[in-house]
Amino acid sequence: MSLLDFGPIASFLGRGEASITVPTLDGAFRPNDFLETADLFGDYAGADTIVVADGQLLLSAGCEVLQIGPNASKVIATFDADITALCADGPVIAVGLASGGVSIVGGPHDRSHIDAVKGKPLTCPTALLLEGDSLTITEGSDRTTPTHWSRDLLERNVCGRVVRVDLSSGQQEVLASKVAYANGLVKTPAGDVVISQSWHHCLSPITDLSKTGSSCHNLPGYPSRISAAGDGGYWLAIFGVRTQLIEFVLREDQYRKRMLDTIAPEHWIAPSLVSQTNFLAPLQQGSVKKLGVLKPWAPPRSYGLVVKLDSDFRPLFSLHSRVGGLRHGVTSAVELDGVLYVVSKGAGQVIAVDLASVQREIVQ
Amino acid sequence: MSFANTLTRVRYKYFPDHLVGELLSKRWMESAVPMIILVATFTYLALNLPHYLSPINLMDMGRLYAEFGLIVLGMGLVMIGGGVDLSIGSMFALSNIAMLAFINMFGWPLWVAIPAVLLVGATLGALNGFLIGYLKLRAFLTTLVTLIIYRSLFDIILLNFAVEISGGFLDSEAWDFIGDGDIFGLPSGFIVFAIIAFVAHILLSRTRPGWHVMAIGGARRSAHNAGIAVKRTVFLTYVISGVLTALSAVFFAARLGSAGSDTGVGMEVSVLTAAVLGGISLGGGRGSVAKAIMGAAIVLLITNGMIRMGMQGGTSSLALGLILIFAVGIDVKWIKNRHKIISKVYVSPTYLKLPDAPSAAAGSGTAYEANNALKDVSLIGLGTIEGPEDVILDRNDNLFTGTRHGDIVRFSGPDFKTQETFAHIGGHPLGMAFDPDGNLLVCVGGMGLYGVKPGGEVYKLTDETTRTWNSVNDDSRLRLADDLDVTPDGQVYFSEATIRYEMHSWPLDSLEGRGNGRIICHDLNNGKTHTVIRNLVFPNGICTAFDGKSILFAETWRCRISRYWLDGPKRGTVEPVIPNLPGYPDNINRASDGNYWLALVGMRTPSFDLAMTMPSFRRKMARRVAPDEWLFPNINSGCVVKFNEAGEILDVLWDISGENHPMITSMREHKGDLFLGGISNNRIGRYHLKDADPDWVSSDSYWGKKS
C-alpha cells in the first residue's frame, strides 16, 4: 500500500481502493452444478430461512413459519409481516420481521416483541441466536429494511449492529456496531460469536470486525446465514456473487446516486436474488446469448452458492447453481442427517443435497 | 443536475475526444515529437543568436549538416536492421586521413582518390559486417573493439606521416568546389546529402532490400524463416554505413584539409543521440530516413548552438549524454506501452441523451406491449448455421443467409430442408438485397459491398468511398458495411455502422454513442460511390420506400427511424419517422400490406440509458472493467415491429421467453410467412402471418412481377 492507493490518484489510476478486482471462482469456489441438479425438496414461495429444531426442519416463508417434511408441511405460526430472521431453541421460536422488531413464540416469553434496542429501533433483523433467555440479534443496517438490502449495498452503508437481549431481565447490550450488513451469525464451540458482514465479503468474530478478522475473508460473493455442519465445520450461504461491474459502480458515486434516484430498484446494477430475464434489467457483454446459449461463466447478476467451511472458517468446497440456472439467491442452508437443506430464495425452493454423494464427487 | 448535464453535453459536443486516440495511432505521430523539438530549437537559436539566419551562417550549417547527416543515415540503417555501429568515429578519421594521403602523398587525381576512399570505408564497414553478420558476434562489443582498432591504426598513421599528409596542398577547382562550392546557394555537400537521403528513403520504404532490413530489425528469426538472407543483409548495412562515413570524410577533408588527432572522437555518441532522438528505435525494425534527418538536425543545432552561445566543450557533451539517456528511455517505454496507451485513449464515449423510452412491459397497454407471439416459430437450419444476420428469399422460394464463416448459405424451398453453400465471400455477410437482374447484393462486414450472381459467382461492387478531407482516420475504406437497399433507378444505398471500429469490435461503438456511421450510395449504372449522410449513430437497417422517392434508415444506438428524401420537394433532407423507440432498431424491410417490418435487436434498459448521459463513466468502464463485464445494451431480448409510412406502430411480435429468438436482427416476409434472423443466433425462424398476402414476394414488390 502506498499513497497512490488512496483518494483521487487511486481513482484516476484505478488502483488501491479504486481497484475493482474480484476473486475468481476457483479453488474452494470452483464451480459445479450440485445445487442445480440436486433434488427439489419443495416449492415455498418467499422461503428465506431454514433451521433445525428438535430434529425437525423449520422454514420461514413469507409471513409464516412452517414445519416442513418430505410429505407434508404445517404452519406453526403466522405473523403480520414477512419474516426476515428465524431461530428456534426447543419449542421456542424467535423471528425477525420486515416491519421491524423481533417476536417470540412459545415458552415463558410467548408473544413478547422487541421493538428497539438501546433506544434505537430494530429495523433490519437478519439473523437470530436464542439460547435459553439470551437472544443475540444481527441487524443489517439502521437505514433500510431487509427487503431493501440492495439499496443499503449501493449506498455503501456500514451501519449494522449485533445486539444481545436478555428476555427475562430485559437487559440489552450492543455487542458490535458499524457492521457492514451483519447477515448471519453462529456460535463456535469455544463460545465466540462469528457474524457475516455481507458488504465486506467476510466472516468476523464480533471482537474483530476488520475485513480480515477471520480466515474467511475476501469472498467472491456476499455472505449470509451461517450454520454448523455435522463434522464441526460450517455451512455458509452466499446470496449473490460480486462482479467487476458492481464493484465499479460502487466506486462511481455520481452514477450510483443518479441510478438510485431515477431508476426502479429491480433495474439497478446490483446483485439480484432471482435468476430473471426481464428485458429492462442491465445486461453485461458476456451475458449476450451466443448461438442460443447463455454461457454459464457469464457475469452473474444472480447466482446460487453454498460454501463448506472447516472449523476454522476456511473454505473447503462449494455447491453452485451457475448462470442460466434457476436456484439462485441462496439465503440459508442447514444440515440434518447427512442431507443439506438449501433455501433458494430466488427460486422459492428448498433443495435437498445428499452430502454423501457430494463428498464422493468432490473428493475425486 | 440539469446544469451539470448541459455542461457535460456542451463539453462533449465541442471537444473532439475521439481525435486524440486516432492521432496517437498514426505512425507519423511518432515523428511529431522530434519535429516539434527541432522547430523549437531552431526558433530559439534564431531568436537568441545574432546573424543566425544570415546566408553565410546557413551555408556553413548546411555543410556541417551534410557531413553529420550522412553518418546518421548510415547509423540509422544499421540500427533499423537491428544493430549498432560504434566505430563510425574511427572510420571517419581513417577515411579522412586516407583521402588526404591519396591526394597529398600519392598525388592521385580526385576521380581515383574519392572512389578509393569510399572503398576504404566499405572495407572498414565490411570487417564490421563480416564479424557481426556472418560470424554473429554482438554488434555492440564488436564495433566497440573495431572502434579501438581503427582509432589505433589512425594514430599510428598520423604519428608517422602527419607532415606528409597535411603538408601538401592540392590546387584543384573540383576539390575546392567539394569543400566550399555551392549550386543555387546550396552547399555542394548538402546537395549530395539530399540526393542520397532521397534515394535511401525510396530504398528503405519502397524496395525489397529496404523491407528486408526492416524485417530483420523487427524480428530476426522470423525474417530468416521467411527466407530473407539475414547474414548478407546485415553485412551490407555495415558496408553502407562505412561508405557513407567515408563520403562524409571526403567532404570534411575537402573543407578543412587537415587531420588532427581528435578527428571523429566522440562522434558515436552524437550520431547515436541523433538517431534515437529522431525516433529510430534501438531495438531495431522501426525508423525511417526522415527520422534520421530530423534527429541529425536537432543534435547539430544543439551542439553547434551551445558552442556559439559560449558554453564550454564539456557542457555540450553533458547535454548530449543527457538527451541520449532521455531519448532512449522514451524510446523503450513508448514502444512497450504504445498499444496500451492507444487502446486506453481510443475509446472516447460521448454524451447521448435519449428521450424517455416508451414502455414495452407486458400489461402496459402500449403499442409495443410484450407478447409471446413468436414462441411457435418453426426453425430452419438449427445448429447448422452460425450468425444469420439477414435472410432473403428469391422468387423461387430459395432462402439465402450469411454466416460468420463468410459463406452465403442457400436453403431450398418450400420446405427449406436442403442446405448448401451458395457462395463463399470471406467476411461475415450482413444485409442483403436483390438487384433488378436477380443478383444478390451483400454488405460484408470488414470488406464492403459485394454481389453474387445467380450462379454463385462473387464480384466486388465497392470497398471504398470518397475520403473526407478533414478526417484523421482514413475513412475511404469501408469498415463495417451493414445493410443496403436498391432504388428503382439502380442506386444502392447502404449503411456503414461505424468508421472507427472493425467488425469484431463493434460493441465498443455502443460505448461511444457518437455519430460514427454514415450512409453511402453506390451507383450500379456507373460504378461510382459517394457518401450521402455522415455522423449517424450506428446506422443500420435501410429500406427503400414503396414509392421509391425516399429511403428509411435506422440508427441503432440513437433508437430512431428517419427518412431520407431522394426526390420531391424535400429532396436531400432527413426527417424523423419514429423518433423514439423502446429498443435498438436493426434491419427494416417491406411488408406485403404496404407497411414496413422493423427488427429491434434489443431493448433499452434504464441503467444503460443513464450511462449514455455519463461519458466519463463509460470511458472509465472501458478502461477498468474487463470487456465481458461491460454494461451493454440488452440485446438478449428483442422483437419485430410493423409500422406504416407515418411511423405509427401497427403490430409487434415478441419472443419474450427468449428460447429461439432472443435477439432479432432481421426479418423478411415471403408468401405469408415471416423469416427471422439473428447475428449471434444459430437458427432461422419461420413465423406464419395470418392476414398476409400468401403470394407476396419481395422481389416483385421492388422490380415487378416476372414470369
Give helix B230-256 / helix B188-206 axis angle, nearest 10°: 170
A120 CB-near residues (< 8 Å, 6+ apart):
A142
- Number of other residues whose CB lies within 10 A of the CB of residue B413: 16
Measured CA to CA, the distance from residue B274 to residue B299 in angstroms comes to 6
Q: How distant is the Cα of A261 from the closest Cα of chain B, in angstroms? A: 11
Cell 405460526 belongs to: A77
Domain-located, residue A281:
no
Measured CA to CA, the distance from residue B523 to residue B494 in angstroms comes to 11
User: Which residue ranges make up each domain of chain B?
Assistant: 57-264+274-293, 373-703
Taking Cα atoms as reference points, which of B241, A123, A260, B399 lies closest to residue A114? A123
* Per-residue pLDDT tens over the stretch B531-584: 999 999 999 999 999 999 999 999 999 999 999 999 999 999 999 999 999 999
* Per-residue pLDDT tens over the stretch B509-526: 999 999 999 999 999 999
Tell whether B110 is within 8 A of chain A (Cβ). no
Contact B247, B239 (CB under 8 A): no
CB under 8 A, 24+ apart: contacts of B506-509: B506/B480, B507/A285, B507/B627, B507/B630, B507/B632, B508/B347, B508/B622, B509/B538, B509/B557
CA of B441: how far to CAs of A136, B425, B459, B484, in Å? Answer: 74, 12, 9, 8
Least trusted range by pLDDT, from A210-219, A306-315, B82-91, B646-655? A210-219
Given a cut of 90, whether residue A341 has pLDDT beyond it is yes
Domain-located, residue A105:
yes
DSSP class of residue B359 equals: P
Whether A245 sits inside 8 A of B631 (CB atoms) is yes
Mean pLDDT to the nearest integer, A140-152? 92
Q: Specify the amino acid at residue B305.
A: G
pLDDT classification of A364: cutoffs 50, 70, 90: low
Q: Which residue has the higher pLDDT, B168 or B523?
A: B523
Domain holding A308: CATH number?
Answer: 2.120.10.30
Q: Which residue of B has its CA nearest to A242?
A: B629
Given a cut of 70, whether residue B673 has pLDDT beyond it is yes
Whether B614 sits inside 8 A of A254 (CB atoms) is yes
Q: Contacts of residue B633 in chain A, CB cutoff 8 Å?
A: 283
Q: Contacts of residue A246 in chain B, CB cutoff 8 Å?
A: none
pLDDT classification of B264: cutoffs 50, 70, 90: confident
Q: Which residue of A has its CA nearest to B602?
A: A279
Q: Which of A20, A277, A288 sits opposite B632 (nearest CB)?
A: A288
CA of A255: how far to CAs of A71, A155, B234, in Å? Answer: 50, 12, 58
Residue ranges of alpha helices (H) inside B168-266 are 173-180, 188-206, 208-218, 220-225, 230-256
Q: What is the pLDDT of residue B169?
A: 67
Contact B694, B672 (CB under 8 A): yes
pTM strictly above 0.95:
no
Q: Which residue of A has its CA nearest to B678?
A: A291
B365 CB-near residues (< 8 Å, 6+ apart):
none
Q: Contacts of residue A323 in chain B, CB cutoff 8 Å?
A: none
Q: Provide the chain B residues 655-674 that lie in CB contact (below 8 A) with chain A.
A: 656-658, 660, 662-663
Share of chain A above pLDDT 70, in %: 99
Least trusted range by pLDDT, from B138-142, B258-262, B461-465, B688-692? B258-262
CA of B89: how far to CAs of B78, B144, B250, B324, in Å? Answer: 15, 11, 14, 17
Whether A262 sits inside 8 A of B620 (CB atoms) is no
ipTM tops the 0.90 cut: yes
Q: Vertex B434, ends B433 and B435: CA angle to 5°?
A: 120
Tell whether B580 is within 8 A of chain A (Cβ). no
Give the DSSP H/E element, type plus range, for residue A335.
Answer: strand A330-336
Q: Contacts of residue B603 in chain A, CB cutoff 8 Å?
A: 279-280
Domain-located, residue A250:
yes
Least trusted range by pLDDT, from A35-39, B20-24, B119-123? B20-24
Beta bridge partners of B462: B449
Contact A252, A281 (CB under 8 A): no
**For chains A and B, what is the number of CB pairs under 8 angstroms?**
119
Q: Contacts of residue B608 in chain A, CB cutoff 8 Å?
A: 282-283
Q: Contacts of residue B660 in chain A, CB cutoff 8 Å?
A: 292
Peptide bond into B414 cis (omega under 30): yes
For A13, phi then psi, to 5°, come to -85, -15
Q: Which three cell numbers stand for residue B331?
A: 524510446
Mean pLDDT to the nearest integer, A154-162? 95
Whether A282 sits inside 8 A of B630 (CB atoms) is no
Whether A263 sits inside 8 A of B623 (CB atoms) is no
Q: Which residue of A has its CA nearest to B631?
A: A284
Domain-located, residue A97:
yes
CA of B639: how far to CAs of B360, B372, B431, B636, in Å? Answer: 10, 10, 18, 10
Chain B interface test: which of A11, A280, A287 (most B C-beta within 10 Å): A280
For B665, phi then psi, to 5°, come to -105, -20
Q: Provide the chain B residues 355-384 that lie in CB contact (below 8 A) with chain A.
A: 360-361, 370
B466 CB-near residues (< 8 Å, 6+ apart):
B476, B529, B530, B531
Q: Which three cell numbers stand for residue B553?
A: 434508415
Domain-located, residue A209:
yes
What is the average pLDDT score of chain A?
Answer: 92
Measured CA to CA, the distance from residue B339 to residue B25 in angstroms comes to 8
Q: What is the pLDDT of residue B599?
A: 95
What is the average pLDDT score of chain B?
Answer: 91
Given a cut of 90, whether residue B642 has pLDDT beyond it is yes
Q: What is the pLDDT of residue B318?
A: 86
Q: Contacts of residue B625 in chain A, CB cutoff 8 Å?
A: 20, 244-245, 248
Q: What is the pLDDT of residue A318?
A: 95
Query: Would you say the C-alpha torsion A181, A187, A190, A191 has a positive or negative sign?
Result: positive
Q: What is the pLDDT of residue B317?
A: 81
Mean pLDDT to the nearest integer, A247-275? 94
Q: What is the pLDDT of residue B182?
A: 82
Q: Vertex A176, ends A175 and A180: CA angle to 5°?
A: 150
Mean pLDDT to the nearest integer, A226-254? 95
Tell whether B565 is within 8 A of chain A (Cβ). no
Q: Which three cell numbers stand for residue B536?
A: 449517424
Given a cut of 80, whether residue B272 has pLDDT beyond it is yes
Chain B interface test: which of A263, A285, A301 (most B C-beta within 10 Å): A285
Q: Which residue has the higher pLDDT, A199 or B413?
A: A199
Q: How distant is the Cα of B517 from the closest Cα of chain A, in angstroms? A: 22
> 3-class SS at B520?
strand
Q: What is the pLDDT of residue B168?
A: 65
CATH topology of domain B373-703: Neuraminidase (2.120.10)
Mean pLDDT to the nearest integer, A140-149? 92
- Give the domain extent around A230: 27-273+295-363
Q: Contacts of residue A254 in chain B, CB cutoff 8 Å?
A: 614, 617
Q: Which of A267, A289, A298 sits opposite B607 (nearest CB)?
A: A267
Whether B629 sits inside 8 A of A269 (CB atoms) is no
Q: How distant is the Cα of B667 from the closest Cα of chain A, in angstroms? A: 17
Mean pLDDT to the nearest integer, B325-343? 83
Q: What is the pLDDT of residue A18?
A: 79
Mean pLDDT to the nearest integer, A29-44? 94
CA of A39: how far to CAs of A19, A237, A353, B66, in Å? Answer: 40, 18, 7, 87
Give the DSSP H/E element, type plus range, for residue A150.
Answer: helix A149-154
Q: What is the pLDDT of residue B474?
A: 83
> In chain A, how many domains are there?
1
Q: Contacts of residue B611 in chain A, CB cutoff 8 Å?
A: 255
Q: Which residue has the higher pLDDT, A267 or A71?
A: A267
Contact B298, B36 (CB under 8 A): no
